[in-house]
Amino acid sequence: MAKLFFIISALMLFTYGCATVPYTDRQQIMMVSEEQESQIGATLFTEVKQESRLSADPKITSMVSEVGRKIAAAADKPEYKWEFAVIDDKNVNAFALPGGKVAFYTGIMPVCQDEAGIAAVMGHEVAHVLARHGSERMSQQQALSIGGVALMAAISGTSPVVREGVMQAYGLGSQVGVLLPYSRKHELEADKIGMILMAKAGYDPRQAVAFWERMLAKKEGAAPPPFLSTHPSDQKRVEELKGFLPEALKYYKGR
């Protein structure tokens, strides 16, 4: 069974190909083209803007757009149609969509505090776009779907009870063993690349550490166990960012 899944994975790798994450050189299996992901991102962003209440505060929207423009320039992907929006919502969050679409919720602005804090978040979100994490996640989902079909074929001669048990185990294994760890890996990777981008854009990458320390202080209630969370714990983020600071500071002229 493991051999069958290995063969399928190898065939998918040969059929679709690899990509390399900038700055980390991590290899990715990609089943989605950049053109496809940009179309998906543009469509979703249009829907988000239509269904959300956009901020009418010119100071905030102008600041987010200006920081976004600088970080995007540092990312050096002019073929992406970069666009930045601020959503009037108390959510302490921000997100990015493929092809250069980034949105901030107004709820995260008090934690950002200033332009440098916005740059820390913007660097992280633009890093997701630059590293094509969205497409990689879609590719993983497709690969797991194909793997599930192959697994069902491999156990087709067993009883329905055995098949159901194996498929349940496969579903749990793929979620906790593959998708969630990759999501956490993406988050930490975006943190590190984001620090480089903000440094190249002229913002002190040490402010990324300060931002996550504020997030850690703000967090209320119990967080899910880190191994079952799609995001690393804030404390782990702070530790990882501190460890990566010497590398990020190489790109910061104001050091």
Pairing verdict, β 18-20 and 27-29: antiparallel
pLDDT of residue 8: 43
Contact (CB, 8 A) for 239 and 206: no
| Residue 85: CB atoms within 10 Å | 18
Catalytic residue (one of 125, 136, 187, 189): 125
Q: Is the pLDDT of residue 43 over 80?
A: yes
pLDDT of residue 174: 40
pLDDT of residue 32: 75
HEC string of 198-254 equals: HHHCCCCCHHHHHHHHHHHHHCCCCCCCHHHCCCCCHHHHHHHHHHHHHHHHCCCCC
Q: What percentage of the chain has pLDDT greater than the value 70? A: 71
Give ∠ CA 144-145-149 in degrees, rounded to 5: 115
pLDDT confidence tier of residue 228, bands split at 50, 70 and 90: low
Model's pTM, two decimal places? 0.78
For residue 239, indicate whether it is catalytic. no
Domain ranges, ordered by start, for the chain: 2-249
